[in-house]
Copies of this chain bind each other. A is one copy, B any other.
């Protein structure tokens, strides 16, 4: 019998990371973590005729890199689970036509990285399947034109905005022991603190990150000190600051905490406003940068709290606010 959830969290015994593939756009590739990613593209079209097709190509490339490392083909995988920011999960679903195995589409906005990793992990932990690929992507130009305005319009941005990362991440999770495992996860509640500005997602998401982190600590009787690093997904400068303030107000000792949106770019030098966002932001930082550090045993255990603003432009037009969610996974070195 598998474990049972403790509150909203569960400890896992049998889930390992076997391989990963990370691809990214030009800004991510020239950023401070660029050298960690498997492949970067010179431009936002990636040789394709539309931005949407470019995002799909990045995702396919990340999958091919991930599988090639383990000498596997898509037919060897039991199940694919993925999501992206496009309406109807266009990127993953249009790619999934090329995959000869079942596909589960999930949507958690920018939290989709941890959500896809969490559901994949649960499927393996239960013993239902042996090999699952979790996949997510985001693309600055596809997200901008869907959620706000096409980049080509050159609309002025508010200072509070974040910059959707361009990249794709495929991760192979299996029950076959390797050097890094998914040792615990926490599923998030949908939280809405009545923030209604779609140009300030960091602030909308901070309360969801707070709730998931505190729930994780409470469920597993842990604190920040039990991790070498805790990262949120894409709160970026403002949201990251708010989260710390919320913690301090509640007398929580915040140590070794950072945000993937602040790590992915050089916020001083690169024009990314408050920092990075999008499924690819937490995905690239986790699988491109933190996973190798875990493999090299520079970190023993890290907590990834991918945050998602479940913003609906239709609901914003109807004067509604922005619900948010955060899902967390804990990665640990296998001794």
Partner-B contacts on A (CB < 8 A): 1-5, 8, 10, 49-50, 52-53, 78-79, 83, 86-90, 93-94, 96-97, 99-109, 115, 119, 122-123, 125-129, 146, 187-192, 310-315, 318, 320, 323, 325
Contact = CB atoms under 8 A, between A and B. Distances in A.
A78 B128 contact: no
7 contacts: A79-B187, A87-B312, A87-B314, A94-B312, A102-B187, A102-B188, A122-B123
A1 B1 contact: yes
A187 B104 contact: yes
A2 B122 CA distance: 12
Contact of A94 (B109, B128, B188, B320): B320
Contacts of A101: 8, 189
Contacts of A122: 122-123, 126, 128
A110 to B, nearest CB: 11
A161 B129 CA distance: 38
Contact of A88 (B78, B94, B188, B310): B310
B1 A103 contact: no
Contacts of A325: 93, 96, 103, 105
Given A87-B88, A122-B128, A2 B5 contact: no
Contacts of A187: 79, 102-104
Contacts of A10: 128
A80 to B, nearest CB: 9
B312 A88 contact: yes
B189 A94 contact: no
Given A312-B88, A314-B52, A107 B109 contact: no
A187 to B, nearest CB: 4
Contacts of A126: 2, 122, 125-128
